[in-house]
């Protein structure tokens, strides 16, 4: 059972799902509000502890696309305008904390994980609510707070200023998808290499579909954050480096799982640039990475397959794509076993296949679809995905979300990415 010991969960506002552009402009003003908190607890009980609020002049998010239409993610946060009671902002996200809850460590001890939510600066006071998706795919409210936009407690300080290079710019931030790429484990002398690595990674993803066809909807910025030492932590090998974001391999005892739990430092470094998504490049040749929906993606840069990991992890963080591999010990996310549809657009339990990619399946293709060479290039429903070989189905026999050698995103993943692009650049 989830317990919030800090604030009442009572919410009395009327939720309205749509409003005009004029109303959107009425609800938000220039700038961004950053709301920081910590997830605290264990596998049985956790709560949310607020930390700080900050006003930023940089542009994060698009007021014109304030409500995500597809309602994805394990968590979501919602803003309600207090005078009108209207829902004015909604966004899903997946934190590292959620994965930790499924580890054996989470059954034995408490830990805290830093988190920050960003949204356009509201004109009026707002109610912030945070929900979690349960195993039945239903939203449960776990936290609520009233934000007084005129409060002296909202910090209005100069953010950290690191040199920024425009790697690729197609237009103004308000009209584009802005991606901030941060350097990790690059010393001051190695930042030239970081800019070169960034260009290579951006080229790798923008040369593949559907990004190639939509490249005029993106801006990429390289944020040059120096580290005291080169590389990153490799705890299992007792290698520790002093770096900007304290990234590490061996996350949750998985050798190639590269993450950072120092999200505060990440946000502080990104606050001086416009962004919708954050990517961290880690200056090491070891293979690995990680990606979290509407949170961040991270990858090493000097492994021959780093560019493929970069693409795969961005699929997670950008479009909420799920992993399609299933041969990693059959350790599925508990939400896949709850008798409902996975929220990820490229996974299905067949409970409600009509809501997924059924319309993309050619007539005559059997559902479920055998993993047979006859259907090698067909869209179907192939059993296996989401870390389990049974009960979860993926769209094709292979895809970048299953194996890096696939050579492309499958048609279903491409459609999900395209819809994300179009939704955010209306």
**DSSP 3-state of 239:** strand
Give the pLDDT band of residue 328 (cuts 50, 70, 90): low
On whether the CB atoms of residues 281 and 299 are closer than 8 A, the answer is yes
Sign of the CA dihedral with 195 first, then 199, 205, and 209 last: positive
Distances (CA, A) of 355 to 218, 286, 348: 29, 39, 9
Mean local confidence (pLDDT), 88-104: 95
Cα four-point dihedral sign 336, 342, 347, 350: positive
Backbone angles phi, psi at 291, to 5 degrees: -150, 140
Compute the radius of gyration of the chain from its Cα atoms: 21
Q: pTM for this structure?
A: 0.92
Taking the C-alpha atoms of residue 398 and residue 377, their distance in angstroms, rounded to an integer, is 9
All domains in the chain, ordered by first residue = 21-147 (2.60.40.3250), 164-320 (3.40.390.10)
For 61, the 3-state DSSP assignment is coil
pLDDT beyond 70 at 426:
yes
Residue 382 near residue 369, CB atoms below 8 Å:
yes
Q: Is 392 helix (H, G, I), strand (E, B) or coil?
A: strand
Query: Tokens for 217?
Result: 């909807």
pLDDT tens-digit readout, 229-248: 999 999 999 999 999 999 99
Which whole number is the average pLDDT over 83-104? Answer: 95
As a whole number of angstroms, the distance between CA 216 and CA 210 comes to 12
Average pLDDT over residues 116-141: 94
The backbone torsions φ and ψ at residue 122, rounded to the nearest 5 degrees and listed phi first, read -70, 150
Query: For the segment 143-161, what is each residue's pLDDT rounded down to a tens digit?
Result: 999 999 999 999 999 999 9
- What is the distance between the alpha carbons of residues 409 and 171, in angstroms, rounded to a whole number? 26
> How far is the C-alpha of 281 from the C-alpha of 258, rounded, in Å?
11
pLDDT band for position 70 (cuts 50, 70, 90): confident
Q: What is the DSSP string of 310-337?
A: HHHHHHHHHH-PPP----SSS---GGGG
pLDDT, tens digit, 9 for 90 and up, residues 255-299: 999 999 999 999 999 998 999 999 999 999 999 999 999 999 999
* For the chain, counts of helices (H) and of strands (E): 6, 15
In contact, 11 and 149? CB cutoff 8 Å: no
Q: Where are the alpha helices (DSSP H) in 238-363?
A: 263-270, 306-319
CB neighbours of residue 284 within 10 Å:
24
275 three-class SS? strand
Q: Residue 12, Cβ neighbours under 10 Å: how many?
A: 7
């Amino acid at each position: 059972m989830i317990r919030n010991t800090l604030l009442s969960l009572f919410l009395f506002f009327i939720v309205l799902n749509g409003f005009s552009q004029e109303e959107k402009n009425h609800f938000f003003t220039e700038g961004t509000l950053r709301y920081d908190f910590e997830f605290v607890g264990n596998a049985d009980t956790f709560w949310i502890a607020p930390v700080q609020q900050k006003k930023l002049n940089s542009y994060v998010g698009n007021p014109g696309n304030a409500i995500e239409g597809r309602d994805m993610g394990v968590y979501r946060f919602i803003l309600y305008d207090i005078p009108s009671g209207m829902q004015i902002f909604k966004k899903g996200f997946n934190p590292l904390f959620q994965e930790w809850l499924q580890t054996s460590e989470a059954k034995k001890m408490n830990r805290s994980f830093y988190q920050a939510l960003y949204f356009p600066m509201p004109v009026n006071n707002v109610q912030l609510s945070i929900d979690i998706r349960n195993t039945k795919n239903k939203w449960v409210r776990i936290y609520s707070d009233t934000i007084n936009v005129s409060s002296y407690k909202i910090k209005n300080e100069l953010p950290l200023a690191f040199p920024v290079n425009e790697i690729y710019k197609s237009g103004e931030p308000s009209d584009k998808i802005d991606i901030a790429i941060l350097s990790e484990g690059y010393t001051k002398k190695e930042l030239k290499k970081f800019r070169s690595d960034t260009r290579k990674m951006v080229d790798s993803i923008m040369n593949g579909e559907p990004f190639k066809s939509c490249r005029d909807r993106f801006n990429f910025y390289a944020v040059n954050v120096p580290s005291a030492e080169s590389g990153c932590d490799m705890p299992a090998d007792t290698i520790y480096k002093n770096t900007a974001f304290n990234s590490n391999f061996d996350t949750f005892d998985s050798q190639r799982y590269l993450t950072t739990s120092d999200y505060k430092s990440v946000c502080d470094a990104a606050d001086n640039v416009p962004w919708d998504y954050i990517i961290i490049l880690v200056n090491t040749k070891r293979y690995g990475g990680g990606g979290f929906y509407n949170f961040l993606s991270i990858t090493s840069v000097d492994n021959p397959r780093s560019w493929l990991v970069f693409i795969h992890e961005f699929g997670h963080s950008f479009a909420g794509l799920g992993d399609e591999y299933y041969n990693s010990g059959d350790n599925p996310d508990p939400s896949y076993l709850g008798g409902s549809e996975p929220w990820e657009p490229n996974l299905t339990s067949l409970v409600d296949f009509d809501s997924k990619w059924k319309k993309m399946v050619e007539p005559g293709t059997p559902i479920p679809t055998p993993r047979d060479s006859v259907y090698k290039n067909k869209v179907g429903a192939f059993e296996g995905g989401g870390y389990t070989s049974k009960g979860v189905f993926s769209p094709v026999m292979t895809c970048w979300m299953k194996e890096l050698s696939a050579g492309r995103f499958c048609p279903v993943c491409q459609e999900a990415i395209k819809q994300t692009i179009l939704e955010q650049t209306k």
